[in-house]
Amino acid sequence: MTIWHVRAEWRKTALRPLTLLLFAILTVGCVTTAFYAQDYWSGNVNQAHKNLRNIESGESYRSCLELNPKLGPEYCRGIGEMERRSTEEWVADSREKAAEAARAQTVPGAFGWAAQAFASFPGLVVVLLLAAQSMGAEYDNRTAGNLLLADPRTRTHILAKATALWLTTATALCCAGAAVAVFGLVKGRSDYPLHAFHLPPGEDLLHGLRLWGGALVVTAVWSVIAVALTALARNQAGGIARSGAVLVLLMLGSGAAGLWGWLPGGIVADVMAFHPGDVLWNVWWGPEPGSPVPLAVRALPTVLITALGIRWIMRAAGRGNEVT
């Protein structure tokens, strides 16, 4: 694999109409979820604090006495205590979610926001479809033979196409992050004030870099897997089916306590700081909470299995090199 090989594949991949369409949809989705999260949770946290102030000032208690004079003060005090507990829980939950939404109002946080989408279900589906088109079209259009005549090593073509796809994905990720940042700085900060929840600049930068770097690693590995599986299937439909099955397997086990933190999906969720319940696209795919084992230790089996799996797929795809 040479830089000229990768460059040629990148030009073919990046300029395809399907590539531009899918990444445009993904970018719009990132901006839309950022808008919805800021709109919803800024209003939610304000309403929660307002309700708590009404309870603490005694306004809720007086309203209860006016509406239920026959039930007496004891009843209203009990209702007030129940309302206080539920409202305090509401405030805590809304503040946590508002802090997540506020990340999209800073530049590092906006890139991290886009990175989470690219490294979760919607982004991986886009990479899956583009990988199937990139490699599968060579077999469907009977042009794979030309590639193999130029270089009979299937692995070389898999790596070149996967690298080109990853570079395209990284470029789209930068564009999506910039779009979220523009929205957050121009409209989000003025219309949905969440300044109290912004992280300190240094911490915000490190968090954004972690998510961005994690997304680059996840999409790089997934690009190789998806392209290799398509080469193994030798057609677009087979590549989509096999990569889709692997994606489903990646997300299975999310409810298995004690096990999910060791599985590939749980590792990705930890690295990308997914939060189920947020107004994001990974609402049902989150990390295992409170695992006592460090992430680096839990990731070792996943790294080993992934490396061995990619090696096996490439070998299987390269056997014979028949063009059917």
- The yes-or-no verdict on residue 324 having pLDDT over 50 is no
- Work out the average pLDDT over 290-296: 81
262: CB partners within 8 A, 6+ apart: 293, 298, 301, 302
Tell the burial category of 306 from Cβ atoms under 10 Å away from its Cβ (0-12, 13-18, 19+).
middle
Question: Greater confidence, 107 or 69?
Answer: 107
Question: Contact 164/227 with Cβ under 8 angstroms?
Answer: no
Give the separation between CA 78 and CA 68, rounded to whole angstroms: 13
The 3-state DSSP composition of the chain as helix, strand, coil percent (nearest 5) reads: 80, 0, 20
Amino acid, res. 53: R
End-to-end distance of the chain based on CA atoms, in angstroms? 24
The tens digit of pLDDT for each residue in 104-162 reads 899 999 999 999 999 988 899 999 999 998 887 777 767 766 565 566 677 888 888 99
Residue with tokens 């790089």: 220
| Nearest Cα residue to 201 out of 113, 98, 106 | 106
Phi-psi bin for 51: left (phi > 0), alpha (psi -120 to 50), beta? alpha
The answer, as to whether pTM is greater than 0.75, is: yes
According to the model, what pLDDT value does residue 82 have?
82
Enclosing H/E stretch for 183:
helix 154-183
**In the predicted model, what is the mean pLDDT of the chain?**
83
pLDDT 10s digits, 297-310: 988 998 999 999 98
In terms of pLDDT, which residue wins out, 264 or 69? Answer: 264
Q: Dig out the tokens for 241 from the structure.
A: 């089916």
The pLDDT of residue 26 is above 90: yes
- Is 60 in contact with 80 (CB distance < 8 Å)? yes
